[in-house]
Amino acid sequence: MKIPDIKSLTSRVETQRVAILSKIKRLKREDPFATDDRAIIVEPGTDASALFSHEKTIVLENQLKRDLTEIEVALTKIKKGTYGLCERCHEAIDVARLEVKPAAIYCMKCENELEKKKR
Ligand SMILES: [Zn+2]
């Protein structure tokens, strides 16, 4: 069985983390309605296209935050020495899968099952 190269996978996870953080920052800068508490006061006559871009930004930002959470879990697992093991069934995650997605915290089987549940 192939053994995951934890060192190179770790640096890839860290690179992804930095990239996502800078993307979130950029999104916030571009968001016309960005506020700290995320409360939007829509006043009459608010530019519809600006509002639309705000909503798109929120969706994107939530997506990025989900990715970031997963990356942070993966980094914690690296520290704990449980990296490469599925969070759900505790089986080893396929090395090929880790190479495609170094921040994967579930094995393929569990991820598919979790995806099904979401729907
Ligand atoms: Zn699993």
3 state SS of 57: helix
Of 47 and 72, the one with more pLDDT: 72
* 38 pLDDT higher than 70: no
C-alpha 39 – ligand 1 centre gap (Å): 38
Question: Which residues make up the environment of ion ligand 1, defined by Cβ < 5 Å?
Answer: 86, 88-89, 107, 110
Among candidate residues 25, 23, 14, the one with its CA nearest the CA of residue 76: 14
Q: How far apart are CA 15 and CA 13, in angstroms?
A: 5
Q: How far apart are CA 112 and CA 117, in angstroms?
A: 9
Q: What is the pTM of this model?
A: 0.79
| Mean pLDDT computed over 45-53 | 82
Domains of the chain are 6-118 (1.20.120.910)
Which pLDDT score, from 0 to 100, does residue 39 have?
57
Q: How far apart are CA 12 and CA 5, in angstroms?
A: 11
Which pLDDT score, from 0 to 100, does residue 35 have?
62
C-alpha 72 – ligand 1 centre gap (Å): 18
* Highest-scoring range by mean pLDDT, 11-20, 37-46, 50-59: 11-20
**Contact present, 95 and 2 (Cβ < 8 Å):** yes
What percent of the chain clears pLDDT 90, i.e. is strictly above it?
Answer: 68
C-alpha 105 – ligand 1 centre gap (Å): 9
Q: How confident is the model at residue 31 (pLDDT cuts 50, 70, 90)?
A: confident
Give the phi and the psi of residue 19 in degrees, each rounded to 5. -65, -40
Q: How far apart are CA 6 and CA 10, in angstroms?
A: 6
